[in-house]
Structure 1
Amino acid sequence: MKDYFSRLTNSKVNLFILLAVLGILIIIILDIIDDLFNFHDILVELHGLIYDLFVFGVVLTFYETNRERKTLKEKAEKDKNEKIERYREEINDFRFWKSDEAKFRISGLVKRLINLDEKKLDLSHCFLQQANGITQHKEMQEWDFSAANLNDTLWISNNCVNSTFYHTQLYQSTFRNVNLTDCKFDSAFLFETNFKECNFQNVTLEDVIVHSQDWFQEMKWNKNTGIEVLEQKYELIELQESEQKILSFKIVRK
């Protein structure tokens, strides 16, 4: 009985209705005791009371519903922000850790962040070699891959507008129909990286390492757009790797 009463009075709306019913009962009892008791008077009072109950009940119900809805929304937003912050911190814990475990853990954290509608992710200095679980996400605008290991990854129809690939390793990676507009590839390792039908509008390529002196021509053969403009800004110089003796070329400004 005590628990039932506690649940009944827990809501302001329920408490208001309970008090209104008690008020009606008290008025009826007092009117019966009164010598001048008249059912007509009770009827008049009841009409007024019912009207007041309806008006104030509707107002109170509306207020209570909106307050609870706002409280739930604020709590959900707070929980979401706390999760985002926790997942970001966990990614930070795996930076510079070169292992498959780090790769799998980061891939899972990225998926959770995207499910929470997080847009701009920082994956700089992360080991993500062959991490196609990362590159399967299509919307990657303004992501930071600086100094990340993304060797041997597959990118298909990704939107990477304004993302950063500074000093990123992309050895033998493949890009198909990827929007790379405004991306920064400065000092990236693009040796044997295959680009086809990608958008290179307004891309920067300062000190990028590639595998062929005909790199710009290969890019045009593979139907990448924006290459003609880049070809006017940059040129290729030959490098000789002292240890591996691999012929490579650096892209520099003219």
Structure 2
Amino acid sequence: MGDQNAGGKPPVKSQEDLRAHFGQLSPLAEKKVLYHLDKFCRDFIALSPFLVIASSDGKGHADASPRGDAPGFVSVLDDKTLLIPDRRGNNRVDTFGNIIASPGIGLIFMVPGINETLRVNGRAEISQEPDLLTPLTVQNVTPIIGLKVHVDETYFHCGKALMRSKLWNPAAQVERHSFPTLGRIIAEQTAAIAVEVAEKAMEEAYREAVLELDETNREPSSSSSLRKQGPITSTANCWAMLQRRAPATRSAAAYGSLLPCAIAH
């Protein structure tokens, strides 16, 4: 029984084995792949408040990072280029570090209430261009760095995964109190901070994030802060720049933003 593969099929050890296992790709699935962002892609991105970024350091170490903001926070520069602004997070800069080492990137855009997703694969580079970042100002805070994505291919993914998971179904949501808060998890995992302090820090950090989503408070801001930043040429350089933008005060909110939480950058 130990030598028997599931379904009685031969082991998959090569690309040929893989195709033999799953069968041929349907012509429709093959033809749906585009090499530019058409009207449907642009409209979907404009509706999307959330995406997942997949990147790698080029040595086989992969990372997936969530990004979210108000719908349409990702800017479509043209039919082959996207710009993802960086909002203040925990300064891990995993994605930026990976892009410096290896530019390959994969994106999955999601829209609440729509089961289909949009996949975008391409190459990314770090952008510090004021003319591109200034229009993405939120709460008078202009992003000083972002990811410019050059699209290689894009296509819509069917909704089976989200339908099976019932992701958008309110009845399937877990009661928040049934799982520990992130503050408690971080406190117990690291033993570096008291639970009460960690929970207060996360609550304040989350409150700030919610305030940033208030569309009525979105106003243009000066781009002078962007011009003061030097070019990002290494992971260490990137991390140092992000440290400089952290608030000087040691409030719970400021500390919370630096907690090693699961919202990795």
Same fold (TM over 0.5): no
Higher helix share: 1
> TM-score of the superposition, structure 2-length normalised?
0.26
Structure of higher CA gyration radius: 1
More relative contact order in 1 or in 2 (CA 8 Å, sep 6+)?
A: 2
> TM-score of the superposition, structure 1-length normalised?
0.26
